Chain A
Amino acid sequence: MSVLKAENIKLVYGAGTSFEKTALDDVSFEIEKGEFVGIIGHTGSGKSTLVQLLNGLLKPTEGRIYLNGKDIWEKPKKIRNVRFKVGMVFQYPEYQLFEETVYKDIAFGPKNMGLEEEEIDKRVREAAVFTGLREDQLEASPFELSGGEKRRAAIAGVIAMDPEVLILDEPTAGLDPLGREALLSQIADFHRVRKNTVLLVSHSMEDIARISDRILVMSKGRKVMLDSTKNVFSHGRELESIGLKVPQITKIMMMLKEKGVNVDTSVLTVEKGFNEILNILSQKTKE
């Protein structure tokens, strides 16, 4: 059974006023347990709105969202339980830190869940390890940390709730290349070890291409496609028409193909591209 299922969801902001705007229109999809799904789309494509619907921060104007087969808005008063199961890391999450110590801030979510002290302690420490925070940093004030460390602390705060589905909205925005790399591999590690479902919103094709199983492409509030990473990027021209860029290496492959070189255009990483070109060259020399 799918862990998350969206059925014809539609969201209209400011309905009935002059500012009426349809942010999402007729979006349906299913996400399987344990999947790593990337969500891409141009600015204003509705991807951030979509993820806020999935954990019940916004209520769809029309349509339904199912978590493990149950409509999340069946009992509106119990929506908090949905938020514990679908953890959400917002853009620039470091701005939500507020506690005296990093430890207390990470413990905020688990505490709201009503867990025992011992369990909270275990979860906080585990989350800190996953995000690469040092033991001594747990007792520091979150405002003393560097920008990148603050972000780790904030992400740890959501991971500590051990959500079934973890949603990250542009987690690498504003980080330097090294920080990006480290954070992404930590997220990938987390997914591998815990086997949770992860949704990663990003507009960086390189990031998404590398770690997602499937990709959901959004444009102008509608779902364009939801398919395996390889298949999605083989629709290079289509992606470009909605203002998205394919990874640079894929782009090179596409251009080679247009020039008449018979290469595979679904190559996503530089390494694979390198091998692909080597192959072609060795074939040519044989001829």
Chain B
Amino acid sequence: MVREITLGQYMPGKSFLHKIDPRTKTVLLIAYIVFIFLCRNFISLLIMSLFSLLVIFMTKISFMKYLKSLRMILFVIILTGFFNIFYGSGEVLWQWQQLKITSGGLINAAFVIVRISMLMMVSSVLTYTTSPTDLTDGLERLMKPLKIFHVKVHEIAMMMTIALRFIPVLLEETDKIMNAQKARGADMESGNLIKRVKSLIPVLIPLFVSAFRRAGDLATAMECRCYNGDKNRTRMKVLHFSIKDLIALLGCLVVFAAVIVGNMYFPAVI
């Protein structure tokens, strides 16, 4: 049951998107997020959507996986979509006392739903095609300029790597502890809210104890190997900006330019 959570699941592959530099992917994702919110009419939104689908198709990962990532936030999508129907101006289509549905509201809702869905799926592209190590490596390099302000960039990246690495371990641990307590008759499925929260104590305490134990062990192991962060550290895999990154960058620039043109030449609806 707890194993079904897919959080930043990396799926190894050999597609074009797997091969481009994590830094390029991260920067382009941020730009993508900005541009999907810049879309002001259906033409621009269509361009962005088609582009998103193309990118998803290029990862060669089953579309079902992306739909599954949407399922996690389905509630958020429906809720925001629903409330947006009632906000907005324009032609009134239906009214009941203070509550009214307008054409503008419907357009708003459509935009919000498409935006959030695309945002989620394209963000998944990054996590699906980039291994956690590459991802944090990339982030570390991107955040390097912050060192001027004495931000401990390497330490932050290291903590992220460790945290990501331990998610599956801790999930498995939770499963084991839950089974062990169930075997002793712990009842986690029935009762009111207070009773249920209380029934989590026999799971949470051993879980925290084990997390701290693991953290302690890991810290000791790192100390024993004289780990001292990023000073003079060399890398086995050095990140390179290759021709592929250039292609990806140019491709995205074309799409983003098309969005701006679309915004300029067609009337805004939102």
Q: Which residues of A contact B (CB under 8 A)?
A: 52, 55, 57, 80, 83-84, 87-88, 90, 93, 95-98, 108-109, 112-113, 143, 157-158, 161
On whether A112 and B185 interact (CB within 8 A), knowing A52-B179, A57-B179, the answer reads: yes
Judge whether B185 and A96 touch: CB under 8 Å: no
In the bound complex, CA of A257 to CA of B177 (Å): 48
- Chain A, Cβ-Cβ closest to B176: A90
In the bound complex, CA of A88 to CA of B186 (Å): 13
The interface residues of chain A lying within 8 Å CB-to-CB of B251 are none
Judge whether B181 and A96 touch: CB under 8 Å: yes
Distance from A147 Cβ to chain B, minimum over Cβ atoms (Å): 12
- Chain B, Cβ-Cβ closest to A77: B190
Contact of A55 among B183, B201, B202 (CB under 8 A): B183
B205 at interface, CB cutoff 8 A: yes
The interface residues of chain A lying within 8 Å CB-to-CB of B173 are 95
In the bound complex, CA of A214 to CA of B269 (Å): 78
Judge whether A57 and B183 touch: CB under 8 Å: yes
Judge whether B184 and A98 touch: CB under 8 Å: no
The interface residues of chain A lying within 8 Å CB-to-CB of B206 are 95-98
- Identify 26 residue pairs between A and B in the complex whose beta-carbon atoms are under 8 Å apart, listed by A's number: A57-B179, A57-B182, A57-B183, A80-B187, A87-B183, A90-B176, A90-B179, A93-B180, A95-B176, A95-B177, A95-B180, A95-B209, A95-B210, A96-B180, A96-B184, A96-B202, A97-B206, A98-B201, A98-B205, A98-B206, A108-B181, A108-B186, A112-B185, A112-B186, A158-B184, A161-B185
Judge whether A143 and B209 touch: CB under 8 Å: yes
In the bound complex, CA of A282 to CA of B118 (Å): 86
- Chain B, Cβ-Cβ closest to A90: B180
Judge whether B187 and A158 touch: CB under 8 Å: no
- Chain B, Cβ-Cβ closest to A100: B205
The interface residues of chain B lying within 8 Å CB-to-CB of A143 are 209
The interface residues of chain B lying within 8 Å CB-to-CB of A88 are 180, 183
Q: Which residues of B contact A (CB under 8 A)?
A: 173, 176-177, 179-187, 201-202, 205-206, 209-210
Distance from A127 Cβ to chain B, minimum over Cβ atoms (Å): 12
Distance from A67 Cβ to chain B, minimum over Cβ atoms (Å): 15
User: At the interface, is chain A mostly helix, strand, loop or mixed?
Assistant: helix
Judge whether B209 and A108 touch: CB under 8 Å: no
Distance from B202 Cβ to chain A, minimum over Cβ atoms (Å): 5
The interface residues of chain A lying within 8 Å CB-to-CB of B183 are 55, 57, 83, 87-88, 90, 158
The interface residues of chain A lying within 8 Å CB-to-CB of B205 are 98
In the complex, number of A-B residue pairs with CB atoms less than 8 Å apart: 57
The interface residues of chain B lying within 8 Å CB-to-CB of A93 are 180
Distance from B53 Cβ to chain A, minimum over Cβ atoms (Å): 23
Distance from B125 Cβ to chain A, minimum over Cβ atoms (Å): 20
Contact of A108 among B177, B179, B202 (CB under 8 A): B202
Judge whether B185 and A113 touch: CB under 8 Å: yes
Q: Which 5 A-B pairs have the closest CB atoms?
A: A112-B185, A98-B205, A96-B180, A109-B184, A88-B183
Contact of B185 among A52, A80, A90, A95 (CB under 8 A): A80
The interface residues of chain B lying within 8 Å CB-to-CB of A97 are 206
Distance from A55 Cβ to chain B, minimum over Cβ atoms (Å): 6
The interface residues of chain B lying within 8 Å CB-to-CB of A96 are 177, 180-181, 184, 202, 206
Judge whether A112 and B179 touch: CB under 8 Å: no
| Inter-chain pairs besides A88-B180, A97-B206, A98-B209, 16 sampled, C-beta below 8 Å | A52-B179, A57-B179, A80-B187, A83-B182, A84-B185, A87-B183, A93-B180, A95-B176, A96-B177, A96-B184, A98-B206, A108-B186, A109-B185, A112-B185, A112-B186, A143-B209
Judge whether B202 and A83 touch: CB under 8 Å: no
The interface residues of chain B lying within 8 Å CB-to-CB of A83 are 182-185
The interface residues of chain A lying within 8 Å CB-to-CB of B181 are 96, 108
Distance from A168 Cβ to chain B, minimum over Cβ atoms (Å): 12
- Chain B, Cβ-Cβ closest to A108: B184
Judge whether A112 and B187 touch: CB under 8 Å: yes
- Chain A, Cβ-Cβ closest to B179: A57
In the bound complex, CA of A109 to CA of B186 (Å): 8
In the bound complex, CA of A189 to CA of B210 (Å): 32
- Kindly name the residue among A84, A95, A158 whose own CB sees the greatest number of chain B CB atoms within 10 A: A95
Distance from A268 Cβ to chain B, minimum over Cβ atoms (Å): 31
Distance from A195 Cβ to chain B, minimum over Cβ atoms (Å): 22
- Chain A, Cβ-Cβ closest to B3: A14
The interface residues of chain A lying within 8 Å CB-to-CB of B186 are 108, 112
In the bound complex, CA of A161 to CA of B183 (Å): 10
- Chain A, Cβ-Cβ closest to B177: A96
Judge whether A161 and B179 touch: CB under 8 Å: no
In the bound complex, CA of A84 to CA of B186 (Å): 10
- Kindly name the residue among B176, B179, B183, B202 whose own CB sees the greatest number of chain A CB atoms within 10 A: B183
In the bound complex, CA of A109 to CA of B179 (Å): 13
In the bound complex, CA of A48 to CA of B260 (Å): 60
On whether A161 and B176 interact (CB within 8 A), knowing A95-B206, A98-B201, the answer reads: no
On whether A112 and B184 interact (CB within 8 A), knowing A90-B176, A95-B177, A96-B177, the answer reads: yes
